Structure 1
Amino acid sequence: MLLDQPLKKWFTNAQGSDTALKSMLKSISWRIVGTLDTMVIAYFITGQLTMAVSIGSIEVFSKIILYYFHERAWEKVTTTKKEHERSEELA
């Protein structure tokens, strides 16, 4: 546990919450796990490693694009009229 304390400083703030760095690294590692999972499933279905890697490669970009639009839709749905008016006043 030699690196335990230095990593805590990088990954938690003074309030004990996760830092943006930790969230970013977790997001990247989760995308890697998800893509590897897709490649393994594609390999079991197709039996072709080249096809599995191709599907996984496409999946990385399609999931990023879909996630972006998903986030934008949630932002529109969850923003109240008052928040929208306040943001227009600040602009």
Structure 2
Amino acid sequence: MNSSRTIPVLALFATMALAVTGCQTVKPGESDLKNRAQTTIGKPVIKVSNIRSDFNTTFYTAQTESGEYTCELPSGPMVALGSMGMGLGAQCTKQ
């Protein structure tokens, strides 16, 4: 391959990769976390709290009238790329 074409092609691919992953590294919003927990638990969620994230998972507590649940939601750039924009469900366990 001609080296004069290699650099622009690599720059283009790097820019596209950053664009795809950069917008998904922000943790999900509180309303999104609440909706996903409600879907998983099957009960109305009053409030979400204790929201924290590592590189590929968002952890939080969902409070319902019957108690609190510890929830995990896959998030981050690899999940966004692998799920092709389709939302994944939260996994919640009662405390």
Tell which has more relative contact order, 1 or 2 (C-alpha 8 A, sep 6+): 2
Same fold (TM over 0.5): no
Higher helix share: 1
Higher strand share: 2
TM-score normalised by length of structure 2 = 0.29
Answer with 1 or 2: which has the greater Rg: 1
TM-score normalised by length of structure 1 = 0.30
